[in-house]
Amino acid sequence: MAALNALLPASGCVTGIDDQRIATPEDRAVVDPTPTPRDFRGQNARHKVLVAVLDAGVDYNHPLLLQNMHFSLDAAGTPAALGRDLIGDDVWPAPYVARTSRYDERLDERSRAASMAAWKTASRLVDAFPEMARFYHPSRNVGQELSRNVKHGTHVAGLMVYDRPDIGLLAYRVMPSNRIPKDEKPPGDAVDKLARETSAVIEAAVEDGARVINMSWEVPGNDTPERQEMLRTLAKRLRTTVLRHPRVLFVVAAGNSRTWLDGSTRVHYPCGIDASNVLCVGALRENDDLAAFSNIPLSGLDVVFTLGEDVLSTVPSGICPVKETDVLRKEDPSDDELRTLAEAAEARCGNSFFLERMSGTSMAAPIVAHVAAEILVDEPDLVAAEVVRAIYRRATRSFIGALPVFKLRIQKPSWVGLEPRSGEDDESVGSEAHTDGAGGLDLDRPFAPEPGTWEAYLTR
């Protein structure tokens, strides 16, 4: 679960943040890679329903997502756009972060010098080991990529479309912020700006054809009365936006604060938006117990609970999180240190399927979005409220304590058979709160012929 507070302007002096809007063409060529060749026209034609993910960007060249990416094509059938990158102000919502801090004149000299030193170190690494450009290109700020959870969007995206080549994916990058405010603004203005930009991205996704929109992020609201009022203003604008599109189902994450959300004194958004086409999702463990971190909405909204703990899904194929990357922060590391990093990255990621386990309501929401898309493939004329009812009809009655719930079986992704065998590679690569890591994966391990099912509870 990602907190959308990252979109709010920072306070005080801003140092070291890479503003993606000012990236040079050379930098953009690295962080917005050319789409891997494929049958783009034929692929688009196979997509019977489109889903959209508003998150931290998506690796549209991930081998396990290639068939699902729904590009806008020019007259020659060449990709011209894939959704929108609000952070980079372009149409390529890749998850990578351009290192603009080395030439951004708005930053202090110390920040620019440190960024240039890191750029030179990465350049040395890539000169000596050219294959490392895939993971540690000097034009990318690897430190920010690893610390700001840019893997989140690709992980969510994989759960929305797995094993369904007839589901097309659109991507809209709304985090991490990576922007430098031109001037300081009061919090009320920041929330209004957040509401306007989020509404604009939603409108763009709907215009592009999305029938299911997943938003695995939250803006917590149980702080001060002033903040509550500001966030109600945010919710009002977002509610107005979603209600304009009754055919579109908005699947949102409940949040990871271990909180009972009563819709009044305790409320988070967008989960707290009262609309018939908004479905809020909490998280369970695979043994069907409630995940300890999951919020529990009690406000009478449509709420479901599904697997959200220790969920295996896709992560960007250009990010290799090994502890040896710390050497890139050094101004003048030795050749041996650079070699050690290259060897560690090759061992971990050279033959990886780029799958990791993460936990959070962020993971639960796209699983439900996946079910919604399957329903729309079969019944494309349904409006969102009817899709919600169809989800309930798939379920059987059960309980969590005294809370009435419904139990739903969901087919696991075929990629569960790609995990390494126990003990092969259990290095943790923490990627989100409440996350257990899974490392580089064994190419020799075959797909599981019968991956089984995930159990999911749905409240009504």
Burial (CB count <10 Å: 0-12, 13-18, 19+), residue 109: exposed
C-alpha to C-alpha distance for 125 and 28, rounded to whole angstroms: 20
Q: How many CB atoms lie within 10 A of CB 302?
A: 23
**Active-site residue, 183 included:** no
**Active-site residue, 152 included:** yes
Structure tokens at 293: 């971190």
Catalytic residue among 139, 294, 359, 362: 362
**Active-site residue, 362 included:** yes
C-alpha to C-alpha distance for 23 and 334, rounded to whole angstroms: 30
Sheet holding 303-307, edge to edge: 84-85, 167-173, 49-55, 210-215, 249-253, 278-284, 303-307, 453-459, 403-411, 396-400
C-alpha to C-alpha distance for 26 and 13, rounded to whole angstroms: 28
> What's the CA angle centered on 17, arms 215 and 58, to 5 degrees?
35
Catalytic residue among 47, 62, 152, 370: 152
Query: Which residue stretches of 252-378 are H helix?
Result: 335-349, 361-378
C-alpha to C-alpha distance for 154 and 188, rounded to whole angstroms: 31
C-alpha to C-alpha distance for 224 and 245, rounded to whole angstroms: 32
Structure tokens at 344: 């560690």
Q: Are 188 and 230 in contact (CB under 8 A)?
A: yes
Residue in this structure with the two tokens 């026209």, named with its chain if needed: 41
Closest CA to 304 of 216, 386, 375, 365: 365
Which segments within 221-375 are labelled E, that is strand?
A: 249-253, 260-261, 268-269, 278-284, 296-297, 303-307, 311-314, 355-358
Buried b (16+ CB within 10 A) or exposed e, 128-161: ebeebbbbbbbbbbbbbbbebbbbbbbbbbbbbb
> For the chain, how big is the Rg over CA atoms in Å?
21
For residue 182, give every residue at least 6 positions away whose Cβ sits within 8 Å of its Cβ, in sequence order, or none. none
Q: Angle 152-161/361-378 helices, nearest 10 degrees? A: 30
For residue 101, give every residue at least 6 positions away whose Cβ sits within 8 Å of its Cβ, in sequence order, or none. 16, 17, 18, 107, 111, 112, 115, 141
C-alpha to C-alpha distance for 35 and 408, rounded to whole angstroms: 36
Catalytic residue among 55, 85, 104, 208: 55
Residue 300's alpha-carbon distances to 66, 276, 324, in angstroms, are 39, 11, 49
Residues marked as catalytic: 55, 152, 362
